[in-house]
Amino acid sequence: MKITEKSTALLFSFTILSGTIYSQSNDRPEIPAVLDGVSYNAAGKLVLTKAGNVEDLEKKDVYTLSKMTGNPQGAASGIQLDLDLPGFTGTVAYGPLNETAAFPTVAFLPKDVKMKDGRALLEIKSVFVKSNDFFKLAEKGKGIIGYRIMDNAGRIIYEGRVAFEGTGPYKVVPTIIEGPLINDLQPAGCVISYETQTPVQTTITIGDKVFTEETAGKHHELVIKGLQPGTDYSYTVAYGDRKETRHFQTAPKEGSRRPFTFAFASANRATTGGGERDFGGTNFQSTRAIMAAAVLNNAVFMQAQGDITTGANPTVDGHLMEYANFKRSLEPFWSKIPVYVGFGDHETSREVFAPDPTTKKSKTIEVFPYATSCGEASFARAFVNPQNGPVSEDGGSYDPNPNQIDFPTYKENVYYYTYDNVAMIVLNTEYWESKDPLTTSGCPEGYIMDQQVKWLRETMSRMESSPAIDHIFVVTHGAVFPNGDHLADAMWWDGDNNSRAVVAGIPLKKGTIERRDEILDICVNNSKKFLAFISGDEHNFSFLEMTPQTPIYLEKYTGKKIQLSRSFYCINNGAGGSAPYAMLPSPWSGTYRYFTEPPALAMISVNGQQVTLKAMRTETFEKICEDVKLR
């Protein structure tokens, strides 16, 4: 979602450290009041004062979206790419995009071309001839070229698009370089988004309805409305002299109780194994296979629960490149059904400090200013999710400045949506993340702060009272009951309640276990419609039925314990393509079923009051489970 970037006032301040006065450099952003133990030293470097004044390493992303789009220019015999990266050597594979396919993809040519100093010529005139010109681009004198940039080790960095006209010399014309994508699906419409490489004014035509942008731009979001529920539509995006047509179906009227299936998977970030498994930060191979399988099984939407790229980038532009690759992997299908994306720990933006001399580990904080540079802000720039969540943690009892915004935004990373008789409530368990809150302030993984809990309570109550809603799913990244690598964090922290958020140096009253129990009370004890938690941080597919008899505490836990009133489910599908996480011991580990390594797709089918689960391995289509009755 496009956001307005407000200028951040750079205030001149003084901090007293060890008896010496250091000034906050006027070319540095103001340190948020919610942090503690963070300051600028005399050289203007960001330091952690509670960790031996270790300095910010000031890391930058090597590759960014603004560079990788390549500033394509027409040339006498083809299209010239220039990444503005002197010294970069690698290769570019390219070929025509099949524009007439229902799910357009690129047919790459037999040979790639060398890239020198970040420049390469995509030859058209002498290459698109005879059997190489499958789509008759020479005859048509126009088309779209897809290209993949690879480094000198063969690692894929980015896949782009460029439209052209002519038969030599060639002219680059306005191009949709990302999308179109269906978002925020409603019974009467949706939001269709796409990106162009140059500012252009676009229109979308659906039947006799024409939706027009008021101004030209590179980022486009058109709100489509006035359509009929549960109806198939074709839509045509017009920009410059080009048009692209796709198809989608509106959501049914709420409470129609027609049968449907939705899909979910997450942890799609890159892994080893070569090829498309590491595609500029995402596992393109598994992610596309998962989405293709979902569409083949008639899923009406896909829910991704976070960790969709390697992420943790220090810059917005770096995040945007990896997000573009993730979206590219889903793009042929995302033009038909919506994808709702959740926020994970790899979606954070991290300022990395020099490693501790003893532990050799580095501490990190969220990049600020939060309004423009934190992980949540980058996420809002990249994705189009519903805007019905809380604003931020501002306004809580711990807010140091009630009259100004101090915390990161919840815009489009905490939200809910409905489809027919199902409500999906999406939370952010990785908000304002800090690996060491006592040193810097911030939030530990898996902890949900007060304002988000308040919103969850209100939203659950609203869905509970809606006559159109029968089933409620709560989507988290960090699991309520983790099973492997994240038993050491998420909503468990090895059973230790001491882990909690810290604001301006002051720990919050409730610890991780207390906060988990509060969420359980809201969802389980105070809702009859709540059915399951859907999570994705653990890199496996697993199914857990929780009953009032299931142990959920360590034997030594002495805090107040919740009594669950009924059974519910925890379904983890972090099998989007990352390296697998094995099951480790926990009080509830003996009750897991269908434990499976990545890649896997999970799907839930709803038919009125009946709800069932199935899952499959997407490399072989082997069934993991089928017709598992949830309700």
Predicted local confidence at residue 70, as pLDDT: 83
492 and 541 housed in the same domain: yes
Mean pLDDT of 62-70: 94
C-alpha–C-alpha distance, residues 315 and 377, integer Å: 11
19 has pLDDT over 70: no
359: Cβ–Cβ under 8 A, 6 or more apart, which residues?
Answer: none
Span 398-410, pLDDT tens digits:
999 999 999 999 9
Q: What is the CATH number of the domain that holds 209?
A: 2.60.40.10
Q: Is residue 41 part of a domain?
A: no
Helix axes 375-382, 316-334, angle to 10 degrees: 30
Amino acid at 377: A
Q: Is the peptide bond before 169 cis (omega within 30 degrees of 0)?
A: yes
Residue 20: both structure tokens together: 């010496």
Is 23 within a domain? no
Q: Where are the beta strands (DSSP E) in 213-360?
A: 217-224, 232-239, 242-249, 260-264, 299-304, 339-341, 350-352
Residue 52 CB neighbour total at 10 angstroms = 13
Position 39 in a domain: no
Does residue 325 lie within any of the structural domains? Answer: yes
pLDDT at 236 over 90: yes
pLDDT digits (tens, 9 = 90+) for 241-289: 999 999 999 999 999 999 999 999 999 999 999 999 999 999 999 999 9
Kindly report, residue by residue over 303-353, the tens digit of the pLDDT.
Answer: 999 999 999 999 999 999 999 999 999 999 999 999 999 999 999 999 999
Could you report the per-residue pLDDT of 190-199, keeping only the tens digit for each?
A: 999 999 999 9
Q: Are residues 378 and 522 in the same domain?
A: yes
Q: Is residue 125 part of a domain?
A: yes
Report the pLDDT value the prediction gives residue 15, as an integer from 0 to 100: 35
DSSP conformation class of 223: E
Domains in the chain: how many in total?
Answer: 3
Does residue 6 fall inside a structural domain?
no
3-state secondary structure 550-612: CCCCCCCCCCCCCCCCCCEEEEEECCCCCCCCCCCCCCCHHHEEEEECCCEEEEEEEECCEEE
Q: What is the mean pLDDT of residues 447-473?
A: 98
Residue 238 and residue 150 in one domain: no
Confidence class for position 13, pLDDT limits 50, 70, 90 = very low
The separation between the first and the last C-alpha atoms of the chain, rounded to the nearest angstrom, is 36
The C-alpha atoms of residue 112 and residue 109 are separated, in whole angstroms, by: 7
Contacts of 524 (CB under 8 A, 6+ apart): 530, 564, 565, 566, 568
| 3-state SS class at 376 | helix
E strand spans, 251-318: 260-264, 299-304
Span 53-75, average pLDDT: 95
pLDDT in tens, 557-606: 999 999 999 999 999 999 999 999 999 999 999 999 999 999 999 999 99
For residue 531, the enclosing domain spans 260-629
Q: Residue 159 carries which DSSP code?
A: E
Q: Is 4 a residue whose pLDDT tops 80?
A: no
Of the residues 147, 173, 199, which one is the last residue of a structural domain? 173
CATH number for the domain spanning 87: value is 2.60.40
When the pLDDT of each residue in the chain is averaged and rounded to a whole number, the result is: 94
- 109-129 exposure pattern, b = at least 16 Cβ within 10 A, e = fewer: beebbebeebbbbbbbbebbe
Query: pLDDT band at 26, cuts 50/70/90?
Result: low
